[in-house]
Amino acid sequence: MHKILIIEDDEIVAEIYKNKLQAEGYEVEVAHDGESGYTRLKSFRPHLLLLDMMIPGPSGNDILRMLRRNIEFKDLPIIAFSGSEELLEAAVSLGATRVLCKGEFVPNQIVARITEVLSAQRRVSDSEAVYLKTLADWVPPAGRVLIVEDDPIVMQLARDVVEDEGYSVVSANDGAEAFRILERDNKFVAGIFDIKVPAIQGTDLVRHMQTERRLSRIPVMIMTGEQSAALQSESLAAGAAIFLPKPFTRTAMQGMLRALVSKKAYRPRMQTA
């Protein structure tokens, strides 16, 4: 689980961000001034810092300056946010990974930026590397992809990748809606299903598809924020071709999608003890 530290002196704002990030599966701690925030950094060891630039001393600028001079934190992803363009310009010069202007981003958008930054930091796994080999010299056929995802941020990210690859998207916000779509339409080159969607889970949709010949030919990618071997085993046993843990990079999803719809897509064999 990724850990995020928020340094924000406005307790209401900090609580809003904390609750939203925890709901998305992150472990979150909050500090309300620069001194306690810097102390918390050393004990909590977060994967990302969300830093308000206008905090009681040390200031956001001071925190950035200290972290980038400290070998332990010089590569820590830091998202700086403020209502002051001057402070954000200073944050860039001091080494902030990303800057956001307060008032222009709602909590969902903040989470989207955090996911993007953390995804860029995540190493590609060995299983992902196998699929990424299919990127070379491969041209996708035309067609449609069914995406089943209730999180609008993840839905938009997946949609962007699919459409950039030249496919059109049919989307569903829950499993029941996806079930109705599949009952009347089987002309999809692939499906991308989140496991934890309302009504009917992604794995149950895949199981249903395996019972009908017209649907069983559609390769499905299962994605989830719960990274466990048990869920991966369950997904592949249900009939999914690919398991993609969240958060993921655009490159990783692109490679997985190309593998999914290409003739090289295959269902990995699970290792047994």
pLDDT at 255: 82
Specify the fold of 3-121: Rossmann fold (3.40.50)
Residue ranges of the domains in the chain? Answer: 3-121, 126-261
Tell me: pLDDT of 141 over 50: yes
For 193-251, the pLDDT digits (tens) are 999 999 999 999 999 999 999 999 999 999 988 767 888 889 989 999 888 888 888 88
Q: Are domains 3-121 and 126-261 of this chain identical in fold?
A: yes
The pLDDT of residue 137 is: 40
Q: How large is the average pLDDT for residues 113-124?
A: 70
Angle at 46 between CA 77 and CA 26, to 5 degrees: 100
- How does residue 146 score in pLDDT terms, banded at 50, 70 and 90? very high
Query: Do residues 160 and 206 touch, judged by C-beta distance below 8 A?
Result: no
What is the model's pLDDT at position 246?
Answer: 84
User: Tell me, what's the pLDDT at 5?
Assistant: 96
| Residue of higher predicted confidence among 4 and 114 | 4
Instruction: State percent of the chain over pLDDT 90.
Output: 46
Nearest C-alpha neighbor of 48 from the set 100, 3, 104: 3
pLDDT value at position 139?
45
Average pLDDT, the chain: 83
At 243, phi and psi to the nearest 5?
-115, 120
Q: What is the pLDDT of residue 253?
A: 85
pLDDT in tens, 3-55: 999 999 988 888 888 888 887 788 999 999 999 999 999 999 999 999 999 99
CA dist., res. 19 & res. 23, Å (int)? 6
Q: Which residues contact 123 (CB under 8 A, 6 or more apart)?
A: none
pLDDT score recorded for residue 104: 63
CATH domain 126-261 topology: Rossmann fold (3.40.50)
The residue-averaged pLDDT of 165-170 equals: 88
Beta bridge partner(s), residue 244 = 223
Cα–Cα dist 65/81, whole Å: 15
Q: What's the DSSP call for residue 134?
A: G
pLDDT of residue 268 exceeding 50 = no
**Closest of 253, 245, 252 to residue 190, by C-alpha:** 253
Predicted pLDDT at 115: 78
Q: Per the confidence metrics, is the pTM higher than 0.75?
A: no
Long-range contacts of 241-244 (CB under 8 A, 24+ apart): 241/265, 241/266, 241/267, 242/131, 243/127, 244/128
